[in-house]
Amino acid sequence: MKKIYILPVLIMLIFSGCSENKIQSSSKDIFAMDTYMNIKAYGKNSENAVSQSANEIKRLESIFSAVESGSDIYRINNSESAEVNSDTLKILSESLEICKSTGGSLDITVYPLVKLWGFTTGEYKIPEKREIENCLKNVDCNNISISGNSVSVPPDCAVDLGAVAKGYASDRIAEIFRENNIESGIINLGGNVYIYGSERAVSVRNPFSPDEIAGTLKVSDKAVVTSGSYERYFTGSDGKNYCHIIDPETGYPADNGLVSVTVTGDSGMYCDALSTALFVMGKEKSIEYWKKHYKNFDMILIDSNKKIYVTENINFESKTDSEIIKIEQKD
């Protein structure tokens, strides 16, 4: 069996007017939340902003981690009830709203299934049907109880913020940039990208040839997040590839014809959550969901037939010969 990690998003810089090379800048590489990150800021307070951002990522990791003893999420999963801080309450509350909005395609209690398939330990296996059915009994975000600043889940139920934590962190860093009057910046948290200030082109990887790009889109003050079956997977004894994105309804890795989902919008956390939820939904349900919520986000879907579906508000420049299909709010 094998596992592959691929960063699904590349950054290409577009300069206009005065070159940013003449502006004071600061950059820092970080390893956190199980991925490599880079933060770059332009402006007089860039060094301070980047330092604060790096500290904030580490702080959020220490409270959001499902495996770090003493974190809020670890204590929720391993005690009858846990007192948590304001960030944990906020991310849980917002995540539960998205879980409900997506009809459970996003479920932050899917952690027992992720463990069962071996994606938390690297000891991959195709579970027995009976094991999956037993785990599914404990997967339901409605099991999360919040009272004041106390959070609890039933025994054998577990919370995991892997689908939302990096997006939440990117939003916090954008706030830090604003507080420091940063002119522009790039927040790249393991391919979970937030473009702050000046417009830049963000390139989406070609899932069929990850060293190449499928196309680019230009954004400013927006997040761009991609989830794909090519990012992290193992090959089972049956010769089939199983990706890390688990369908909370079936208990199996999502396998519905999509190979890549890119979401762009104002909120990094929202885009992070939706990139997972839409991947689980599949093409038709994703398009239906976008038509109901088109004011909140845009998306790029790539299916197993190499067709690329792009919502009408994205100016996507293709770099492949794949068929581009425009998704319009009104057919």
Residues 93-120 pLDDT 10s: 999 999 999 999 999 999 999 999 999 8
pLDDT-derived band at 20 (thresholds 50, 70, 90) equals: low
- Which residue, 163, 173, 179, is CA-closest to 194? 173
Q: What percent of the chain is helix, strand and coil (3-state, nearest 5)? A: 30, 30, 40
218-240: average pLDDT: 92
Q: What is the pLDDT of residues 151-196, one digit of tens each?
A: 999 999 999 999 999 999 999 999 999 999 999 999 999 889 999 9
d(Cα 136, Cα 113) in Å, to the nearest integer?
Answer: 7
As to burial, measured by CB atoms within 10 angstroms (0-12 exposed, 13-18 middle, 19+ buried), residue 164 is buried
Task: Give me the helices (H) in 180-241, please.
Answer: none
Please check the confidence at residue 1 and state whether its pLDDT lies above 90.
Answer: no
Going from the N-terminus, what domains does the chain have, and what CATH number goes with each? Answer: 1-15+24-254 (3.10.520.10)
pLDDT-derived band at 211 (thresholds 50, 70, 90) equals: confident
Please check the confidence at residue 205 and state whether its pLDDT lies above 50.
Answer: yes
Pairing of strands 324-327, 308-311: parallel
d(Cα 37, Cα 19) in Å, to the nearest integer?
Answer: 24
Predicted TM-score (pTM) of this structure: 0.93
Classify 126 as helix, strand or coil.
coil
d(Cα 251, Cα 248) in Å, to the nearest integer?
Answer: 5
Is the distance from CB of 149 to CB of 89 less than 8 angstroms? yes
d(Cα 316, Cα 279) in Å, to the nearest integer?
Answer: 19
The pLDDT value given to residue 16 = 42
d(Cα 272, Cα 108) in Å, to the nearest integer?
Answer: 12
Is the distance from CB of 262 to CB of 310 less than 8 angstroms? no
Q: What is the pLDDT of residues 237-260, one digit of tens each?
A: 899 999 999 999 999 999 999 999
Q: What is the mean pLDDT of the chain?
A: 92
Please check the confidence at residue 9 and state whether its pLDDT lies above 80.
Answer: no
Read off the DSSP letter of residue 237: T
